[in-house]
Amino acid sequence: MTQLPATTDKKLGLVIDLDTCVGCHACVISCKEWNTGSYGAPLSDVDAYGANPVGTFLNRVHSFEAKQEGCPSQTIHFPKSCLHCDDAPCVTVCPTGASYKRSEDGIVLVNEDQCMGCGLCAWACPYGARELDAMAGVMKKCTLCVDRIYNENIPEEDRVPSCVRTCPAGARHFGDFADPESNVSKLVAERGGMDLMPELGTSPVNKYLPPRPKADVNGTQPPALEAQSTEITGFLGWLDRTLEKI
Amino acid sequence: MTKHHQPKLDTSPVVSDEIRRTTCYMCACRCGINVHMKDGKVKYIEGNKDHPVNKGVLCAKGSAGIMQHYSPSRLRNPMKRVGERGEGKFEDISWEEAFEIATGLLDPIRKNDPKKLAFFTGRDQSQSMTGWWAQNFGTLNYAAHGGFCSVNMAAGGIYTMGGAFWEFGAPDWDRAKLFMIFGVAEDHDSNPIKMGLGKLKANGAKIIGVNPIRSGYNAIADEWVGITPGTDGLFILSLIHELLKAGKVDLDYLIRYTNMPFLVNQVEGSAEYGLMVRDADDNQLVWDRATGKAVPYETKGAKPAMSGMVEVNGVQCRPAFEILAEKYLTDEYTPDAVAERVGISADRIRSIAAEIARVAFEEEITLDIPWTDWKGEKHEKMIGRPVAMHAMRGISAHSNGFQTARALHILQILIGSVEVPGGFRFKPPYPKSVEAHPKPHHTVTPGAPLNGPHLGYPRGPEDLCLDEDGKAKRIDKAFTWENPLSAHGLMHMVISNAHAGDPYKIDTLFMYMANMSWNSSMNTTKVMDMLKDKDEDGNYVIPNIIYSDAYSSEMVAFADLILPDTTYLERHDCISLLDRPICEADGLADSIRWPVVEPDRDVRGFQSVLIELGARLGLPGMVNEDGSAKFKDYADYMVNHERRPGVGPLAGWRGKDQDGKGRGEPNPEQIDRYIENGGFWVDHIEPSNAFYKPWNKGYQEWAVERGIFDKESPYVFTVYQEILQKFRLAAEGHGDIQPPERLREQVKMAMDPLPIWYEPFEQTLVDNEEYPVHALTQRPMAMYHSWGTQNAWLRQIHGTNPMFISGELWAEHGFNEGDWAVVTSTHGTITVPAVRMDALNGKTIWTWNAIGKRKGAWALSKDAPETKKGFLLNHLIHELLPARGDGQRWNNSDPVTGQAAWFDLRVNIKRVDAPADLQSSPDTAPQISPVGQGPKDIAYGKEWT
C-alpha cells in the first residue's frame, strides 16, 4: 500500500478530442520511440518478427463501432494511456512504493528501482493503462513525457508529450487542469469534456471531448433546393435573366 | 502503508548528440523530419516544424522509421540468382560483377533494339531522373506506378482544369466551411489531410465523407454517405442536376474562367461536330451578346452568351454550357432516378446539393486583396465559395474513374470553387493546362535516345503510340485505342503482356521498388507463374529480370540480378519540381534527402547506380565527351544536371550568388544550403498572386520568373473537353487514324467530352446474382503498401487483415464470431478470416491492402500472422476482364486512361468454419530468405536507458 499526496500543485494531463481523432496511431508510435530510449527500461518487443509479436506500449488506440437501432453505425477511435488519476488505485495498491503520484504536477510514475514486477497495479487500474515489460520485468506506463515537458535541452515549444507534439489532426492537448484558464481547462468547459468511467471514483485527470452529433445519425438534413424550372426551356429563361444582371 | 516518496528525477536529460533534418520516405507524403542521432545511431525521429508539408507533426509510419531503417529485412549485397526463379536462392556478388552483368544485358539491347528493355519503376520519387535515363537509353517502355495507382485522378484533373488533387492542389483548409471527401483510403496525402481535418473541425466547418467504409477520415465526418462502390460519378452528376435545376451555379465564374461560353460545332455528321468553332487565327469563339457577333473568347468587354444556337461562318453552333445543361437536366440524373444504384436516398442527395449551394452562395468569402487578370482587368476583391473537395483512389480505381474524376472537378467548377478562397487551390508548379504538358513520344532508334519524354497527354488520335498497322508500340499498350489517354502507362499489364509476347517479346525487365510478384499486381498467383514460366527450350519466357529494392520483398525472389538499394536515411534524393513536388498552395517548395546515416552494408542508392550504369553504357547526358562519367553519383546529378538552361532538379539557392529561385546556374554548394535550411526550400507567393492562378497576371509573371514556364501560360478550364471528342469522331469514322472495329463502340461511349457515368465493366460482364457483393481494399494509416510489415512496431498494429463483412451480409449468410469466409470472384477463390462491420455499405466487404505476405519474405518467421491469416484480395482480381467471347484480351482498366480497375471487383461469399490450421488460402509456397530471419526479441534504445 502506497500513499497518494494529499494535493498536487498542478494537475498535468491530456485532453483527447474524440471528434477529431482519426485513429492513425501516430501518437502510439511516437510515444513508443520516445520512451523506448528514455525514462526507465526500454519498451521491448518480444517475438518481434515472429508469430506472436507482443511489445510494450504506453499508449494505444482502440477502435469501436457504435450502432443505435435504426441509425447508421459509427466508428470511434479511442486513444488510451494512463489518465494520471487523482485517486489512483494503481498507487495505493503498490506494495513497495514504486508507484507514486508526484506532488508538484500530479504525474503518476513508476520508480523502476523499487518495482518488483508483481503486476498488482495493472490489476488495480480499471483502464488497462499499465503494461509489464516482458524483458525488463518492470511495470511501464505513460510518464506524460516527464523527461520532455521540463527538458531544457529541447526548445520550449516542444516541451509537451511526444504524442501531443506529433498528433497530425491536433486531437491531443496537454496542460494544467488545476488552472481554470489553461488551454485544457477551457477546452473541457467549452466542449463538455468527460471523465472516463467516473463511477469508479478514480478522478482521472485526463479528459475526453465527445464527438459532435452526426448529421446522418442524430442530425437534421437541409431541405431540397427550390427548382427554377424542371424543363430546359425554363432553365434557359433563368439563364437569360441572370446573365442580364452580370 | 508505504509513505508517499518521490525519487529525484533528471527531467532535463540530453536528448541526442545531433539533429539531422531530412525528408521522410515511410510513405509518399514526404514530410520533413528531425532525426536525432545518439552514439551514431538513430534515437528519435520527429516532424520538422518548419517544413511546409507536415509543420512538425508526424504519422505512425514516420515515427516508426527507426524500425524501418534497422529492419532485418534490409538487403546487404548485390546478388545473382542461383536457384530457380521464385525460390529465393542467391549468391552474393560484388558491385563490379553486378555492373558487368547489367551492362552485358543492356548494351546489346540498346545497340540493336532498345524497346526490348522494359524499365518500370514503382513508388519511385525520382521519376524525372529515371524517365530521363530511360529516354537516353532509347527504350519507349518506361513508366512508373501511376497506371495501377491513380492516373484517373491525375488525367481527369489535367484534362479538366490543369491539375488534380494531392500533389497538384489541396483544399483551402483554413477557409473552407464545407468539405467533401470522396473515396480516400486514409493515405494520400497522409499528414496534410489529417492536419486539414483538424483545422476544419477547429473552425466549425462541416465534413461530409463519401465512402462505402466508415473508417479513418469518414469516422470523424459529420455526415457519412456510405455510397455503393463504382457509383460516385452518378451521385456527382445527380448533385449537378440539382444545382443546375435550382440555378445554383456561378455563371460569372463560368464565363470568365471556363470554356462554357465557347461555341461548339453542332453540325451533326460533320468531321468537326462537337469541336470548338475557331476563327482564321485559331481563336476559340464566344457569341458576344452586346454586338451580336462571334468574337475570340479573350476579347475585352465581350458579353458571352451561354445559350442559343447561332451560325458562325456557315456553321451551326452553340455555347458549351447549353450542351452541358441539357445533358444533366434530363431525368436520367434526378435523385429519384439514381438513388437505388448509388445506395443513397433521393432526399439525402437533394439535401447534400442544397447544403453545397447554401455554403457556396450564402457563405461567400471576400478577401480585400486586389488582383489583375490576364486580360488586364483589375479586381478589387477575391470572392471565395467555401466548399472544398478531395478525392483519391476510391473513386478513380474503377473502369469509370476518369469520367468520375472529371465529374467531380466539374461540380467544383460549376459552383465557382476552384482556385478561390475557401475552395480547392492549386499548388505550384500547377496549374498547368494540357497544352503545357508534353505529348507521349515513341520513336525508337537503336543506339540513340528516344525522341522525347515517354509519357504525356495526347491531344488527339495522332498522338497515340501506334505503328503503321495500328498495333501498340509500347509493351504496356499505353496510348492505344484501348486506353488512349494512359498518361502514366500501365505497369500492371507489363508482366502479362511480356509473358504473352503481346505486342512483342522483350529481353530484359528492369524494375525498381515495385512488388510486382505480390501486392502490386492483379492476379498474383498467375503473375508469379508468368515470371517463372519457361519455354520449350527451358529458357524463361521473360528472359532477364533486374530488380532494385532495399528490402527482401516478394519480388526479390523472382529477379536474376538484385541491385540492393539503401534505406531512406542513407541516401540522397531530391523531391523535385520536375517531378512530384511538395509545394503548398501558397508556395513553391522542394526538398532533399541526404545520408544522415552511412550504410553499414554493401548497398547503394538506386539512382546513383543508375547514373553509373548510364555512364558505363555511354548514355547521352551521362558521359563527358571523352567518355568519362559526367556525374559522380546522384547527389552530383541533383546539383549539376540542367533540364533546360538554368533549370535543374533543385530550385533553391541556384546560381553563383546562391540566391537564384527556380532559375540560375548550378551551385556546387546547393546541397549544403538545403541541409542548413532543414532539407527543404520554400518560396512563398504574394497574397495578390495566391488565388486565381491560371488567370492571375501576377502569378503568371512570377511562375515565369521561377522557371515553371518559359512564357506566361494562362488558360481557361476545359469543362467541355474537345480532345475527347476528337477520339470520338475518329471512332465515328472521321480522320486517318481510327480505332479498330472492335473498339469503336467503347471509344464512342467512353470519350464523351462531358462526364458520363456507366456501370463498371466487370459488373456488366458477370452474373450479378451470382456475384452480388462488392469487394474493396483500403490502406491503413499506419502502413504503407507492403513496407510496413517488416517493421516490428507497425506490424503490431496491423499484423492481420480480416475480411470485414457488412452487418447485412453477415446476417444473410449466418456468420458468427470466429467464422471464416470463402470469397469467390469469376477468377478465383480465397478462404479468409471474417469480421463483422456495420459501418459499411450493406453490399460491400473489404480488407486492408498488402498485409498478407509470402512465407519467407521480409525476414519474418514462416508462421508470422501476415503469412497465416493474412491474405491478398489480389488473387480474385484479373488483369483481364472476363472473356466476352470475341477472342480478344480486354484489360481490366479504365477505357480512357488504362487505370487498373481494382475496385470493380464483384464476388460472392460463403460462411465456413475456421480451418484447423488457421491458414488462409491460397497459401503460396515459401521463398528462401536471402537475409535470414529477424531477431527474436528486441529492446531498442537499451543503451540509453
* C-alpha cell recorded at residue B608: 546513383
The span from the CA of B57 to the CA of B192, in Å, is 9
The span from the CA of B214 to the CA of B903, in Å, is 17
Query: In Å, what is the CA distance from B481 to each residue of B415, B441, B897?
Result: 34, 16, 10
Query: Which residue type occupies B63?
Result: S
Q: How does pLDDT run across B217-246, given as a tens digit for each residue?
A: 999 999 999 999 999 999 999 999 999 999
Contact criterion met (CB < 8 Å) for A170 and B198: yes
Extended beta strands in A18-122, E state = 45-46, 54-55, 59-66, 74-81, 99-101, 108-110
* pLDDT band per the 50, 70, 90 thresholds, residue A27: very high
Interface test mutation site (partner B, options A75, A87, A154, max chain B beta carbons within 10 A): A75
Residue B409 Cα, gap to closest chain A Cα (Å)? 21
B583, pLDDT greater than 70: yes
- Tell me what pLDDT residue A229 has: 67
CA atoms within 13 A on the CB side of A50: 12
The answer to whether the beta carbons of residues B759 and B230 sit under 8 Å apart is yes
Q: How does pLDDT run across A69-124, given as a tens digit for each residue?
A: 888 999 999 999 999 999 999 999 999 999 999 999 999 999 999 999 999 999 99
Q: What are the chain B neighbours of A55 within 8 Å (beta carbons)?
A: 792-793, 796
Residue A177 Cα, gap to closest chain B Cα (Å)? 21
Report the side by side order of strands in the sheet with B310-312. Answer: B263-265, B315-319, B310-312
Contacts of A193 (CB under 8 A, 6+ apart): A15, A187, A207, A208, A209
What mean pLDDT do residues B867-885 have? 94
Q: For B555, which DSSP code?
A: G
Q: What are the chain A neighbours of B222 within 8 Å (beta carbons)?
A: 212, 214-215, 219
Option in B2, B46, B225 nearest A97 (CB):
B2
What mean pLDDT do residues B668-696 have? 98
> Scanning every residue of chain A, which has its alpha carbon at the shortest distance from the alpha carbon of B243?
A225
Q: ω before B503 within 30° of 0 (cis)?
A: yes
Contact criterion met (CB < 8 Å) for B289 and A227: no
Option in A50, A222, A225 nearest B864 (CB):
A50
Contact criterion met (CB < 8 Å) for B347 and A37: no
The span from the CA of B370 to the CA of B587, in Å, is 19
Option in A24, A157, A239 nearest B194 (CB):
A24
Q: Is the dihedral of CA A37, B53, A81, A60 positive or negative?
A: negative
More confident residue, B167 or B288: B288
The span from the CA of B30 to the CA of B567, in Å, is 14
Q: What are the chain B neighbours of A79 within 8 Å (beta carbons)?
A: none
* C-alpha cell recorded at residue A189: 468547459
CA atoms within 13 A on the CB side of B437: 27
* C-alpha cell recorded at residue B550: 532495399
pLDDT above 70 covers what percent of chain B?
100
Residue A197 Cα, gap to closest chain B Cα (Å)? 23
What mean pLDDT do residues B175-193 have? 89
Contacts of B811 (CB under 8 A, 6+ apart): none
Contact criterion met (CB < 8 Å) for B58 and A168: yes
Which candidate, B693, B912, B715, places its Cα nearest to that of B815? Answer: B912
- Tell me what pLDDT residue B786 has: 82
What mean pLDDT do residues B104-112 have? 98
Mean pLDDT over the full length of chain B:
96
Kindly report which listed range (A223-237, B614-628, B868-882) carries the lowest average pLDDT score: A223-237
B898, pLDDT greater than 90: yes
Phi, then psi, of B853 in degrees rounded to 5:
-130, 155
B185, pLDDT greater than 80: no
Q: How does pLDDT run across B237-270, given as a tens digit for each residue?
A: 999 999 999 999 999 999 999 999 999 999 999 9
Query: In Å, what is the CA distance from B533 to each residue of B111, B496, B541, B561, B891?
Result: 27, 12, 6, 17, 21
What mean pLDDT do residues B511-526 have? 95
* C-alpha cell recorded at residue A172: 491531443
B627, pLDDT greater than 90: yes
The span from the CA of A144 to the CA of A178, in Å, is 16
Contact criterion met (CB < 8 Å) for B792 and A55: yes
- Cell 520485468 found at: A137
B819, pLDDT greater than 70: yes
Contact criterion met (CB < 8 Å) for A103 and B807: no
Contact criterion met (CB < 8 Å) for A169 and B195: yes
The span from the CA of B186 to the CA of B181, in Å, is 11
- Tell me what pLDDT residue A230 has: 63
The answer to whether the beta carbons of residues B821 and B835 sit under 8 Å apart is no
> Scanning every residue of chain A, which has its alpha carbon at the shortest distance from the alpha carbon of B31?
A168
B422, pLDDT greater than 90: yes
Domains in chain B (CATH in brackets) are: 164-430 (3.40.228.10), 763-912 (2.40.40.20)
The span from the CA of B277 to the CA of B313, in Å, is 9
What mean pLDDT do residues B894-902 have? 97
> Scanning every residue of chain B, which has its alpha carbon at the shortest distance from the alpha carbon of A145?
B11
- Tell me what pLDDT residue B640 has: 98
- Tell me what pLDDT residue B634 has: 98
Domains in chain A (CATH in brackets) are: 12-245 (3.30.70.20)
Query: In Å, what is the CA distance from B909 to each residue of A95, B102, B212, B827, B834?
Result: 54, 47, 18, 14, 10
Query: Which residue type occupies B516?
Result: M
* C-alpha cell recorded at residue A73: 453505425
Option in B12, B54, B242 nearest A151 (CB):
B12
- Cell 509545394 found at: B583
Q: How does pLDDT run across B29-85, given as a tens digit for each residue?
A: 999 999 999 999 999 999 999 999 999 999 999 999 999 999 999 999 999 999 999
Question: Element (H or E) spanning B240, and its range?
Answer: helix B232-245
Q: What is the DSSP string of B51-119?
A: -TTTTT---HHHHTHHHHHT-TTB--S-EEE-S-TTT--EEE--HHHHHHHHHHHHHHHHHH-GGGEEE
Query: In Å, what is the CA distance from B489 to each residue of B115, B150, B512?
Result: 15, 11, 15
pLDDT above 70 covers what percent of chain A?
99
B658, pLDDT greater than 70: yes
* pLDDT band per the 50, 70, 90 thresholds, residue B89: very high
What mean pLDDT do residues B487-507 have? 96
A246, pLDDT greater than 90: no
B102, pLDDT greater than 70: yes
> Scanning every residue of chain B, which has its alpha carbon at the shortest distance from the alpha carbon of A245?
B252
Q: How does pLDDT run across B727-747, given as a tens digit for each residue?
A: 999 999 999 999 999 999 999
Contact criterion met (CB < 8 Å) for B46 and A74: no
Q: What are the chain B neighbours of A241 within 8 Å (beta carbons)?
A: none
Option in B221, B305, B358 nearest A222 (CB):
B358
Residue contacts between A and B (CB atoms, under 8 Å): 333
Phi, then psi, of A186 in degrees rounded to 5:
-65, -45
The span from the CA of B888 to the CA of B659, in Å, is 58
pLDDT above 90 covers what percent of chain B?
95
Contacts of B824 (CB under 8 A, 6+ apart): B771, B876, B907, B908, B909, B910
> Scanning every residue of chain A, which has its alpha carbon at the shortest distance from the alpha carbon of B8?
A111
